[in-house]
């Protein structure tokens, strides 16, 4: 299902536009992990450049414009040194990219990347708290609107599945790559209702008609579960000696 020809065409256009400034192109995310869904998944690319001046960005603009016309998001643009020094603030993102990526051009700059785990834990709590606050806001705005509530739940689902998986990692547990298995495992560990996330995944994958489900009940348990995971991560950090280590 991954559009390989489209990706290869883009890499060729990038290489022609950037020339020797382009060190490597890396595919990551669902297209690299085997979880790609044509309707919901993006094609995520990381481009490593020797220098990132405005002039170098302008040189790449025609290739990026073509990619945008294919309804794909622009790639991440970073230098080798920049990605190394970003591991402390993007621990979750870079850990995921490191675990599931495919080098399309050049060097694998992620192979030797070191992720500081104590900072991974702190970022995990930050992301959970931020996304929990946003979830409350969006559910409030969608209150009384069945379709709007489903949109909120489904849009947030991949993010929370990722954060639940990283909660297992932070607890020193093995974390399944599969969204369903990761949610199920964390639900069993923390004692929240994981079935609502499985129902949401079924809706997202067109296995169940959302009209047959009680979206208010699902939203209630979904929100409560996110709150419970956030509290668990906070307590885990509080109990660490020293905090965050």
Residue 245: predicted pLDDT: 40
Residue that is written with structure tokens 């009680």 in the block: 214
Residue with token string 């990132």: 52
Measured between alpha carbons, how far is 10 from 36 in angstroms, rounded to an integer?
Answer: 18
Q: What is the DSSP letter of 5?
A: H
Specify whether the backbone of 220 is left (phi greater than 0), alpha (psi in -120 to 50) or beta: alpha
Phi-psi domain of 3 (left: phi exceeds 0; alpha: psi -120 through 50; beta: other): beta
238 confidence band (pLDDT: 50, 70, 90): confident
pLDDT at site 113: 93
Selection from 55, 25, 58 nearest residue 43 by Cα: 25
Q: Are 46 and 76 in contact (CB under 8 A)?
A: yes
DSSP 183-239: HHHHHHHHT--THHHHHHHHHHTTSS-GGGS-HHHHHHHHHHHHHHHHHHHHHHHHH
pLDDT of amino acid 240: 64
Average pLDDT, the chain: 93
pLDDT above 90 covers a percentage of the chain that reads: 81
Given a cut of 60, is residue 241 above it in pLDDT? no
Stated pTM of the model: 0.79
Tens-place pLDDT, residues 77-136: 999 999 999 999 999 999 999 989 999 999 999 999 999 888 899 999 999 999 999 999
Q: What is the pLDDT of residues 162-175, one digit of tens each?
A: 999 999 999 988 88
d(CA 26, CA 126): 27
Per-residue pLDDT reduced to its tens digit, 124-155: 999 999 999 999 999 999 999 999 999 999 99
């Amino acid at each position: 299902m991954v559009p390989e020809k489209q990706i290869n065409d883009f890499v060729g256009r990038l290489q022609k536009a950037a020339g020797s400034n382009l060190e490597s192109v890396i595919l990551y995310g669902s297209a690299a992990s085997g979880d790609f869904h044509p309707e919901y998944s993006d094609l995520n690319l990381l481009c490593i450049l020797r220098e990132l001046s405005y002039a170098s960005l302008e040189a790449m603009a025609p290739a990026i414009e073509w990619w945008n016309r294919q309804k794909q998001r622009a790639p991440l643009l970073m230098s080798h040194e920049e990605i190394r020094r970003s591991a402390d603030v993007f621990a979750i993102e870079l850990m995921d990219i490191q675990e599931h990526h495919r080098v399309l051009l050049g060097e694998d700059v992620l192979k030797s990347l070191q992720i500081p785990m104590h900072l991974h834990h702190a970022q995990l709590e930050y992301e959970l708290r931020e996304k929990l606050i946003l979830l409350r806001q969006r559910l409030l705005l969608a209150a009384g609107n069945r379709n709007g509530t489903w949109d909120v739940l489904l849009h947030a689902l991949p993010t929370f599945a990722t954060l639940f998986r990283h909660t297992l990692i932070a607890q020193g547990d093995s974390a399944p790559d599969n969204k369903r298995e990761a949610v199920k495992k964390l639900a069993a560990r923390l004692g929240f209702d994981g079935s609502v996330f499985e129902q949401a995944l079924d809706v997202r994958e067109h296995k169940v008609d959302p009209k047959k489900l009680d979206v208010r009940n699902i939203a209630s348990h979904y929100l409560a579960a996110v709150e419970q995971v956030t509290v668990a991560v906070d307590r885990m950090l509080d109990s660490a000696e020293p905090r965050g280590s």
